[in-house]
Chain A
């Protein structure tokens, strides 16, 4: 597999209940490629957390998954409000999500920590008022 495989998704920001469509599709696609189930699990959970973040905080965005020979890259890009304090946002338990989101079982402040937990590398670029791009990498 020397060529890069790209999967692109538009994440709809208005429909909280459909969040996860892209991650579940990615899970299927990676299964078809015959990748290790634990790798698939890590990639799809990290992506789902990112998807949920984009829906909760940024009115959606764009998701790209690139499959290289020895790693998988996930790029999540939104034009939402940006993250004021990335260090704080990375702390387990810190959340700015609304009560309505919490009543659905999200907003526990575990999204970004989970994304870091399940990936080998994670980079957040964010500008307040402009948007956020999260780039994650899982080694194969």
Chain B
């Protein structure tokens, strides 16, 4: 499944999607950035409630296919602009991390 397909499921809001064709092959949930870098795998959807600028760097370096912000977490406009520049897909959802992971899991 691609990020575009995930985004069109009606469950998730698109904050930015510069790389819609990125493939998704799993999920990692975490808010501690070094844990994410240590454990998330390339092409995972990364579900988090962190929203600071460092999230973009971590998403880029970890090569995750998409950041999914749970619990309706929002991003400052400068963070969003950086995400677009760096080619990082960002979706959001009112769901909890657990519920969001179940939805993604049911689709891949």
Contacts and interface: CB of A to CB of B under 8 A. Distances in A.
Interface of A: 16-17, 19-20, 23-24, 27, 37-38, 41, 44-45, 48-49, 104-106, 108-111, 113-114, 117
Nearest to A104: B52
Interface string B1-40: 0000000000000000000000000000001111101100
Which secondary structure dominates chain A's binding surface?
helix
Contact of B33 (A17, A27, A44, A106): A106
A17 B53 contact: yes
Interface stretch (B54-62, B65-73, B92-100): B54-62
Contacts of A104: 33, 52, 54
B38 A117 contact: yes
A28 B82 CA distance: 16
A101 to B, nearest CB: 10
Contacts of A17: 52-54
Contact of B34 (A16, A23, A41, A114): A114
A105 B57 contact: no
Nearest to B36: A105
A108 B36 CA distance: 11
Contacts of B34: 49, 106, 108-111, 114
A19 B57 contact: yes
Contacts of B58: 20, 48
A45 B37 contact: yes
A105 B50 contact: yes
B59 to A, nearest CB: 11
A37 B63 contact: yes
B42 interface: yes
Given A37-B63, A108-B32, A113-B38, 12 more contacts: A20-B57, A24-B57, A27-B61, A38-B42, A41-B61, A45-B61, A45-B62, A48-B37, A49-B37, A104-B54, A110-B34, A114-B37
A23 B42 contact: no
